Amino acid sequence: MMRAGLAESYLIVGKTGTARSHLAAARRHCESYGENYLGAELCRLAALLSQAEAAPVEIIESHLNEALTVARGQEARLFELRAATSLAQLLGEQGRRAEARELLAPIYGWFTEGFDTPDLKEAKALLDALA
């Protein structure tokens, strides 16, 4: 869905208002058409947007835990990896390094190929930093 990609793109360049608008449009689309295949990713993007807007850590963590729950329910391993990587990063920043590693390591361990993809490279770099 293009709106989710646009939300992430605007978030990366720091245009949080525009990112919020596209994220809201993506959520409305999913609700209108009963599409939830990007549910976990939308929750993760909501967490990143909240983080960019300096929301309390509890709100950010709640969005990421919701992303993990949705991804696990759908058995969407890539979205679970993305949510876990974002949550592990947040936990690491809070000094909860062991908890972050315990969350991310087994999910990273499921993958047997694709280690040159950005998602797996990011997860590996974070695991190395948490060691």
* Domain definitions of the chain by residue range: 2-130
Per-residue pLDDT of 70-112, as tens digits, reads: 999 999 999 999 999 999 999 999 999 999 999 999 999 999 9
Tokens (6 digits) for 60: 């950010």
- Asked if residue 1 lies in contact with residue 38, where contact means CB atoms within 8 angstroms, the answer is yes
Does domain 2-130 bear CATH number 3.10.20.30?
Answer: no
- Asked if residue 43 lies in contact with residue 67, where contact means CB atoms within 8 angstroms, the answer is yes
| pTM for this predicted structure | 0.93
Looking at the predicted structure, is the pLDDT value of residue 1 above 80? no
